[in-house]
C-alpha cells in the first residue's frame, strides 16, 4: 500500500518550506530512513527521510515549489509494485555524470549545495565525521588560481617643455561584460526580508546608545587567555562577558526579558540568550539555553560550537528555537556603530561594535583607552526609555568592572 511523504512538523514559527532538491527520481528504490528530499526553511535546511522501504512512486511537487506543513511531497510504493510505477524522469544530460553518485553520499544539504557551486564531486570528499559537511567540501575544492602580478609601472620623467593643451576625450565604449542577473531569494533570505519589515511595522522600536571602557576586560583576557585555552580548549572571547552582564541586568530590568501577547506581558524568569552568527544564507541566532547556569568556559564552548555549525550548515531547529534576549556583534565585521533589528517576539537586543582606541577624560586627564559603542534597540510598547537607558548603563558598569560579573553570576 502506497505511503505518503509529507512535510514534517519543524518546530515553532516554521509553517512552510521550499523544495530545494529531490535526492531520488520517480521509480528509484528507497530505504526506510534514507533522505529523499531536501527542504529549505527560513531557519535551517531539512532532509526528509523515506517512511518505508520501497520505490518512489510519484513526486507531487518539483524542485523550487513552496509547500506547507503536512503537504504531501510524494508517495512510496511497495518494491514489487515498481513495475506499475510511472516512468522515471528523463536521463540527466552528460554534463552531470556524478549526480547518481552524489545521492549515495551521506552529506548535509549545505554540503551538497557547496559541491554543486564549486564543482566538487561529493564521492571524492573525505568527511571528518559521519556525513560530509560544507567545511569538508571547501577543504576539497581547488584553490583559485593566483592572479598574475601586474608589471611594475615605470615612472616617466616629467617633460621639460610646457604641458600640451588638453585634448577632448574620445567617447568611451561601454564595457563588454555589463550584464544583470536575476536570482531567486532563498527561503531564509526571503523570510529575513519579510520579518525585518514586519518588526518595524509592528513594534515601537527605539534605540539607546552608550560607550564602554573595555580596559578591564581586555586586561583580564590578556592575563588569562593562554591558561584558559589550555584548560578548556577554547579561547576567551568578548561576547561571553557581555552575555554574563546582560543576564545580571535582565534580573534587575525583567521587562527586557519578556514578550507581548495581546494585552499581556509575558515575563520570563529564565535566560535563553540568542547569539547572532553569520551563515552563508544570512544571519542566524542560535540560542544558549539556561545561559545563567553556564560558566565562562561552557558559554565560550557553546558559542564556538554553534558558530561552527552555522558555517557548515548543520544547525538544527532546536539550536534556533526560542530565545528571550539576543546579542549581536557587528564589531567582528568592523562596524563602529549600528542599530540592530529586534528579533521578535523579543523586546530587546544588544548590539556590540568594534573596540577602538580613543582619547577619553579620566580624572581630569585625557587618556587613550580601548572603547566600544553599544546599542540597545527596544520595544517602547513594553520598555520605558529610562528603563532601557538604565539597563544599558548597568551593562557598562559590569563590563568596566569585570570582577563584579563573578558576584552577579
CB atoms within 10 A of CB 76: 24
* Of the candidates 20, 81, 31, the residue with the CA atom closest to the CA atom of residue 53: 31
Q: What is the dihedral of CA 247, 253, 256, 259, to 10 degrees?
A: 110
255 contacts 380 by C-beta, under 8 angstroms: no
d(CA 256, CA 154): 63
Quick one: cell of 335? Answer: 562596524
The Cα 351–Cα 276 span in angstroms is 10
Q: Pairing between strand 258-261 and 264-267?
A: antiparallel
DSSP 145: P
Out of 128, 290, 305, 384, the active site residue is: 384
Question: CA separation (Å) from 159 to 162, 163, 166, 169?
Answer: 8, 8, 15, 21
Which residue reads 534605540 in cell numbers?
207
- Cα 167 to Cα 157, 159, 170, distances in angstroms: 21, 17, 9
- Going by the DSSP 8-state scheme, the letter that residue 231 receives in this structure is H
Q: How far is it, in rounded angstroms, from Cα 391 to Cα 383?
A: 10
**And the C-alpha cell for 16?**
512552510
Is 353 an active-site residue? Answer: no
| Cα distances (Å, whole numbers) of residue 81 to 7, 29, 32, 36, 39 | 24, 11, 16, 19, 27
Sign of the Cα torsion 195, 197, 200, 203 reads negative
Q: Is 269 a catalytic residue?
A: no
Single out the catalytic residue among 128, 305, 380, 401: 380
Rounded CA separation 71/393 (Å): 50
Task: Give the Cα separation of 187 and 45 in Å (integer).
Answer: 10
**Cell numbers placing 253:** 530590568
Q: What residues are labeled active site?
A: 380, 384
Amino acid at each position: 500500500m502506497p505511503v505518503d511523504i509529507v512535510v514534517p512538523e519543524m518546530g515553532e514559527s516554521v509553517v512552510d518550506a521550499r523544495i530545494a532538491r529531490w535526492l531520488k527520481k520517480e521509480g528509484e528504490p528507497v530505504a526506510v530512513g534514507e533522505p529523499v528530499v531536501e527542504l529549505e526553511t527560513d531557519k535551517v535546511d531539512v532532509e526528509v527521510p523515506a517512511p518505508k522501504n520501497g520505490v518512489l512512486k510519484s513526486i507531487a511537487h518539483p524542485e523550487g515549489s513552496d509547500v506547507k506543513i503536512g503537504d504531501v511531497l510524494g508517495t512510496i510504493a511497495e518494491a514489487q509494485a515498481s513495475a506499475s510505477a510511472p516512468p522515471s524522469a528523463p536521463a540527466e544530460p552528460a554534463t552531470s555524470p556524478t549526480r547518481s553518485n552524489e545521492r549515495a553520499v551521506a552529506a548535509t544539504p549545505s554540503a551538497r549545495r557547496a559541491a554543486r557551486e564549486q564543482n566538487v564531486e561529493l564521492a571524492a570528499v573525505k568527511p571528518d565525521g559521519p556525513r560530509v559537511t560544507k567545511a569538508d567540501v571547501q577543504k576539497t575544492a581547488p584553490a583559485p588560481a593566483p592572479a598574475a602580478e601586474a608589471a611594475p609601472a615605470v615612472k616617466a620623467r616629467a617633460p621639460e617643455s610646457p604641458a600640451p593643451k588638453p585634448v577632448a576625450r574620445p567617447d568611451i565604449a561601454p564595457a563588454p561584460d555589463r550584464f544583470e542577473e536575476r536570482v531567486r531569494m532563498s527561503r531564509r533570505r526571503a523570510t529575513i526580508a519579510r520579518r525585518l519589515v514586519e518588526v518595524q511595522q509592528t513594534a515601537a522600536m527605539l534605540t539607546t546608545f552608550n560607550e564602554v571602557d573595555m580596559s578591564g576586560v581586555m586586561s583580564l583576557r590578556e592575563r588569562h587567555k593562554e591558561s584558559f585555552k589550555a584548560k578548556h580548549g577554547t579561547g576567551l572571547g568578548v561576547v561571553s562577558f557581555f552575555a554574563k552582564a546582560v543576564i545580571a541586568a535582565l534580573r534587575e530590568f525583567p521587562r527586557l526579558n519578556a514578550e507581548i501577547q495581546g494585552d499581556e506581558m509575558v515575563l520570563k524568569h529564565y535566560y535563553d540568550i540568542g547569539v547572532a552568527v553569520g551563515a552563508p544564507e544570512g544571519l542566524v541566532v542560535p540560542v544558549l539555553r539556561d545561559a545563567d547556569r553556564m560558566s565562562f568556559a561552557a558559554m565560550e564552548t557553546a558559542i564556538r560550537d554553534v558558530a561552527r555549525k552555522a558555517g557548515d550548515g548543520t544547525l538544527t531547529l532546536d539550536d534556533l528555537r526560542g530565545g528571550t534576549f539576543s546579542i549581536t556583534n557587528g564589531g567582528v565585521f568592523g562596524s563602529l556603530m549600528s542599530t540592530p533589528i529586534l528579533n521578535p517576539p523579543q523586546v530587546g537586543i544588544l548590539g556590540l561594535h568594534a573596540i577602538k582606541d580613543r582619547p577619553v577624560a579620566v580624572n581630569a586627564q585625557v587618556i587613550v583607552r580601548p572603547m566600544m559603542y553599544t546599542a540597545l534597540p527596544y520595544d517602547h510598547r513594553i520598555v520605558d526609555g529610562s528603563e532601557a537607558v538604565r539597563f544599558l548603563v548597568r551593562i557598562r558598569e559590569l563590563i568596566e568592572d569585570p570582577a563584579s560579573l563573578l558576584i552577579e553570576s
